[in-house]
């Protein structure tokens, strides 16, 4: 095997383990959830109709929309909601109305991802643990406590990162797909006519004969495509080709075999509805199957938790969330991170979902709202990417997007029926995060405007100060400023009270851009201002790791060396208060921003500034 083939095989193995963990474990609860809601009787016509709908939903949503189209929308190799948002914003260019609408849509999509992140671990692990009841009925009382213990252990080990266990994910998930495919295949052999459900006529007949029932179950059938966003979000880790090959070569055949096998079992034994997945297995295989399912649901949950860490980091660097403490769990892979606050906030929400709903059928009634909303948002942003980035002709774009939007809107409308019975939970989680993100984004701009109103032009300050020939203290002063054209407060303080300037003065602005990575050679700009003063700009992508001393260490030829102990960093740390005047934000949201600002992580940690060489100064700023 050549090195290239070996690399492709490794990527495919990783994709099988990480990308498809969520959608791969949906066989545990999807069909059970559809027939368990009580709207669909277990007649042969209904079973064929539901399976036909399931087949075509997977074919259109997963295969056509995500595997074929969405995976093409790579932002310099990266994927995910915020990556697509950045790509779409680049495409629309200087169109303020479109940009504003896209920003709100993209941030809403990222927020909804967190709602999905709460329900997915809960329903996955809970549905796996419910298998205990089949061979130990008395274990029913221990299903919820066991689920909570598994989830707590999962969140507890997050700080160790996925590097040490990641290599086991792929083989375990491959075993899983082989097992679920084999279970389905055996039951299909016993009732091969079930394969006729592939024909769209069964779905069409079901929809036309019972449109109300078909509409109601559409929001539950979406369970069979949960995890599709992982196809796109993890593209940067594995690439589009390995993800596509694993889908067509392993995952889709295995899932369809299992779903159709469950359908064949229900045709032969309607009482198997209590848990059609586990009842496909012989009694001797139940215990190992429950163990395997639990391992795979943990893997599925792990992938989504890691995704929550990644999207949080992107949101922080794009200015939609305050700074949080981020730990890198791998010396080799920059994307493997751990964010303690996000980890334990997710655990609390997931545990609350398990305790509130108590079983996977009840959780299935809550699931789907966030998933459908996220799929709809992806379709909307895909339109802007296809039209403005790929420059596709308007007619084909309109046909494709209209077709996909029609499906998404039907699914969203159906899922909305579940809001009173539990769908509100995931929706509330997502909307809560959206409120925080919008408040932080608008609050930052209000704070920048307030600072700008109090600022003094840097060139004016330097021209007057240098004319007075202040004392030049030896060493280098690096002033971090949001606006490189205005004088930092620390500089004004030194001039006013100490009548002193450093020998070298660097006025540094850090800018984050709507692309994943900025090459190291393109990150730093320097512009001399005269009298050994310099304006600097460091450019980062939303997946770069900021490290100011590392970037400044590359400066050469200007007569100074920032790597020495003579360098001091000055930055502002304002005390923000909420004013009673009007503006873009109501007072209660201003108070929320003030609270977020006060509890934001230290910028010294975020920018990797040396603690013993950093001076923070600030005043009171009212927004």
Q: How distant, in Å, are the alpha carbons of 167, 569, 570 from that of 561?
A: 43, 14, 17
> Tokens in use for 365?
């009634």
Do 550 and 494 share a structural domain? yes
Q: How many helices (H) and strands (E) does the chain have?
A: 27, 10
Of 421, 443, 465, which residue constitutes the final position of a domain?
443
Residues 197 and 257 placed together within one structural domain of the fold = yes
Please give the Cα distance from 406 to 214 (Å, whole number): 15
Task: Give tens-digit pLDDT for 448-461.
Answer: 888 777 778 888 88
Both 427 and 563 in one domain: the answer is: no
Residues 509 and 368 reside in one and the same domain: no
Q: What is the pLDDT of residues 408-429, one digit of tens each?
A: 999 999 888 888 888 888 888 8
Same domain, 196 and 74: yes
Asked if residue 2 is part of any domain, the answer here is no
For residue 106, give both structure tokens: 């993209």
Q: Strands of 172-295 (E only): list them.
A: none
Q: Predicted confidence band at 348 (pLDDT cuts at 50, 70, 90)?
A: very high
CB 509 within 8 A of CB 478: no
Give the pTM: 0.79
Which of 323, 237, 210 is CA-nearest to residue 605?
A: 323
Shared domain check, 499 and 435: no
* Position 423 in a domain: yes
Quick one: which of 423, 426, 427 has its CA closest to 366?
A: 423
The boundaries of the domain holding residue 508 are 455-622
pLDDT of residue 350: 92
Both 111 and 159 in one domain: the answer is: yes
- Among residues 385, 417, 443, the one where a domain terminates is 443
Q: State the pLDDT confidence band at 362, using cuts at 50, 70 and 90.
A: confident
Please say if the pLDDT value at position 161 is more than 80.
Answer: no
Mean per-residue pLDDT of the chain: 84
102 and 204 fall within a common domain: yes
Looking at the domain assignment, is residue 548 inside a domain? Answer: yes
Q: How far apart are the first and last CA of the chain?
A: 63
Q: Quote the CA–CA distance of 336 and 241 in Å, as a whole number.
A: 22
Residue 202 confidence (pLDDT) = 94
The average pLDDT across 130-139 equals 74
Same domain? For 460 and 439 the reply is: no
pLDDT > 70 in the chain, percent: 94
Number of domains the chain contains: 2
- Alpha carbon distance 252, 249 (integer Å): 7
The answer to whether residue 169 is domain-embedded is yes
1 part of a folded domain: no
Which secondary structure element, helix H or strand E, spans residue 614, and what is its range?
strand 614-617
Shared-domain flag, residues 366 and 221: yes
Within 318-368, residue ranges assigned H as helices are: 340-357, 360-366
Structure tokens at 234: 């993890």
> Mind giving me the DSSP string for 30-92?
HHHHHHHTSSS---HHHHHHHHHHHHHHIIIIIIIIIIIIGGG--BTTB-SHHHHHHHHHHHH
* pLDDT higher than threshold 90 for residue 482: no
- The reply to whether 291 falls in a domain is yes
Report the CATH number that the domain containing residue 235 is assigned in CATH: 1.20.1740.10
Is residue 449, in this structure, part of any structural domain at all? Answer: no
């Amino acid at each position: 095997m050549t090195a290239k083939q070996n690399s492709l095989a490794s990527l495919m193995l990783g994709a099988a383990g990480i990308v498809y963990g969520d959608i791969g474990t949906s066989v545990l609860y999807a069909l059970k959830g559809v027939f368990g809601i009580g709207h669909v009787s277990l007649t042969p016509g209904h079973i064929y109709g539901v399976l036909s709908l399931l087949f075509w939903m997977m074919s259109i949503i997963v295969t056509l929309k995500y595997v074929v189209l969405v995976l093409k929308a790579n932002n310099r190799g990266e994927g995910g909601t915020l990556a697509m948002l950045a790509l779409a914003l680049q495409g629309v260019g200087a169109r303020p109305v479109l940009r504003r609408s896209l920003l709100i849509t993209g941030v809403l999509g990222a927020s909804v991802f967190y709602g999905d992140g709460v329900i997915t671990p809960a329903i996955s692990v809970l549905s796996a643990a419910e298998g205990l009841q089949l061979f130990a009925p008395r274990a029913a009382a221990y299903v919820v406590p066991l689920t909570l213990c598994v989830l707590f252990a999962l969140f507890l080990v997050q700080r160790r990162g996925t590097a040490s266990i990641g290599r086991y994910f792929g083989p375990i998930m491959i075993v899983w797909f082989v097992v679920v495919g084999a279970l389905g295949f055996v039951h299909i052999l016993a009732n091969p006519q079930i394969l006729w459900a592939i024909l769209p006529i069964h779905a069409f007949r079901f929809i036309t004969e019972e449109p109300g029932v078909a509409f109601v179950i559409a929001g539950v059938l979406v369970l069979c495509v949960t995890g599709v966003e992982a196809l796109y979000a993890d593209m940067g880790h594995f690439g589009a080709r390995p993800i596509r090959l694993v889908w067509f070569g392993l995952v889709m055949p295995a899932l369809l075999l299992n779903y159709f096998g469950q359908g064949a079992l229900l045709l032969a034994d309607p009482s198997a509805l209590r848990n059609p997945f586990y009842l496909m297995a012989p009694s001797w295989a139940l215990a190992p199957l429950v163990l395997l399912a639990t391992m795979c649901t943990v893997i599925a949950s792990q992938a989504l938790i890691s995704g929550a860490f990644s999207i949080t980091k992107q949101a922080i660097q794009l200015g939609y969330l305050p700074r949080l403490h981020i730990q890198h769990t791998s010396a080799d892979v920059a994307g493997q991170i751990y964010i303690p606050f996000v980890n334990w906030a997710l655990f609390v929400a997931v545990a609350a979902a398990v305790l509130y709903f108590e079983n996977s059928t009840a959780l299935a009634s809550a699931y789907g709202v966030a998933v459908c909303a996220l799929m709809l948002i992806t379709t909307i942003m895909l339109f802007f990417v296809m039209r403005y980035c790929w420059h596709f002709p308007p007619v084909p774009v309109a046909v494709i997007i209209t077709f996909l939007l029609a499906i998404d809107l039907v699914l969203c409308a159906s899922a909305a029926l579940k809001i009173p019975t539990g769908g509100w939970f995931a929706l509330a989680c997502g909307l809560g995060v959206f409120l925080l993100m919008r408040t932080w984004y608008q609050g930052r701009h209000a704070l920048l405007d307030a600072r700008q109103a109090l600022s003094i032009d840097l060139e004016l300050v330097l021209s007057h100060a240098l004319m007075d020939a202040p004392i030049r203290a030896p060493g280098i002063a690096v002033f971090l400023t949001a606006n490189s054209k205005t004088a930092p407060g620390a500089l004004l303080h030194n001039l006013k009270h100490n009548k002193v300037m450093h020998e070298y003065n660097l006025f540094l602005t850090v800018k984050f851009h709507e692309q994943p990575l900025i090459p190291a050679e393109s990150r730093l700009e320097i512009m001399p201002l005269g009298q050994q003063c310099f304006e600097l700009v460091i450019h980062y992508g939303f997946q770069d790791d900021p490290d100011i001393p590392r970037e400044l260490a590359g400066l050469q030829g200007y007569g100074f060396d920032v790597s020495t102990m003579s360098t001091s960093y000055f930055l502002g740390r304002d005390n923000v208060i909420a004013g009673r005047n009007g503006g873009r934000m109501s007072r209660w949201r201003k108070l929320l921003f003030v609270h977020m600002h006060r509890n934001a992580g230290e910028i010294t940690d975020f920018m990797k500034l040396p603690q013993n060489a950093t001076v923070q100064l600030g005043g009171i700023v009212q927004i």
